[in-house]
């Protein structure tokens, strides 16, 4: 079994555990985003996009235990504001960090040696059934707790190729291709 198929299998199992079932065809479309960094278990995420049109987008974001989506923002594109997104926790616990007044002691753990590219420190803890909306242009990053997490994302049009990451090494559209 390849790394890609192992990660997809694990992702499908987590989704099913949370009661979120995907067809076999949908399972094939799961994206494994290691952000071009090569250490998926630390920085990256697995996601499935239900729909992404010129008006709206809906996705499931699956995070393995302590897996982190690197800090980024959604800038304006072609005269339109950046993506506005609402995260709704479906399973597990997710630690979300946005710009604003820093939380004195945070639950998330920035990847070792990368603390300088994880600058947003206002902590929002989301548990199943809780949600938070991130405004366009707001730096944010998020991390699963020790058990992992699943987050449903509802947003305006997703244009991942325009996301701006604090870490210059991130290549958002690169994923595992083994």
Please, what is the average pLDDT of the chain? 96
- How large a percentage of the chain has pLDDT more than 70? 98
The two counts, helices (H) then strands (E), for the chain are 2, 9
Segment 106-116, tens digit of pLDDT: 999 999 999 99
Is the model's pLDDT at 65 over the cut of 60?
yes
Average pLDDT over residues 74-101: 97
pLDDT band for position 172 (cuts 50, 70, 90):
confident
pLDDT at 175: 72
Segment 33-47, tens digit of pLDDT: 999 999 999 999 999
70 vs 150: CA distance, rounded Å: 16
pLDDT at 177: 53
Tell me if 151 sits within 8 A of 131, measured CB to CB. no
pLDDT at 178: 35
Segment 142-158, tens digit of pLDDT: 999 999 999 999 999 99
Distances (CA, A) of 76 to 33, 69, 87, 159: 23, 21, 20, 10
Is the model's pLDDT at 176 over the cut of 70?
no
72 vs 91: CA distance, rounded Å: 23
Structure tokens at 32: 């494994």
83 vs 91: CA distance, rounded Å: 24
133 vs 144: CA distance, rounded Å: 18
Going along the chain from its start, the domains and CATH numbers come out as 3-165 (2.60.120.10)
- The SS3 call for residue 72 is strand
Longest dimension (CA), the chain: 46
Report DSSP state, residue 27.
Answer: H
Is the model's pLDDT at 73 over the cut of 70?
yes
Is the model's pLDDT at 24 over the cut of 70?
yes
Structure tokens at 93: 């616990």
């Amino acid at each position: 079994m390849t790394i890609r198929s192992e990660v997809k299998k694990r992702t499908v199992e987590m989704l099913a555990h949370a009661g979120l079932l995907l067809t076999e065809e949908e399972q094939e479309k799961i994206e494994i985003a290691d952000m071009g960094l090569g250490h998926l278990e630390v920085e990256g995420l697995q996601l499935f996009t239900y729909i992404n049109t010129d008006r709206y987008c809906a996705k499931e974001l699956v995070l393995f235990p302590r897996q982190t989506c690197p800090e980024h923002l959604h800038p304006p594109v072609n005269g339109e504001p950046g993506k506005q997104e609402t995260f709704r926790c479906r399973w597990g616990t997710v630690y979300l960090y946005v710009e604003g007044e820093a939380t004195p002691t945070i639950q998330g753990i920035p990847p070792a040696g990368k603390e300088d590219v994880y600058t947003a420190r206002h902590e929002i803890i989301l548990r199943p059934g809780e949600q938070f909306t991130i405004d366009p242009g707001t730096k944010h990053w998020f991390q699963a707790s020790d058990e992992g997490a699943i987050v449903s994302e509802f947003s305006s049009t997703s244009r991942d190729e325009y996301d701006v990451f604090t870490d210059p090494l991130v290549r958002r559209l690169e994923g595992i291709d083994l």
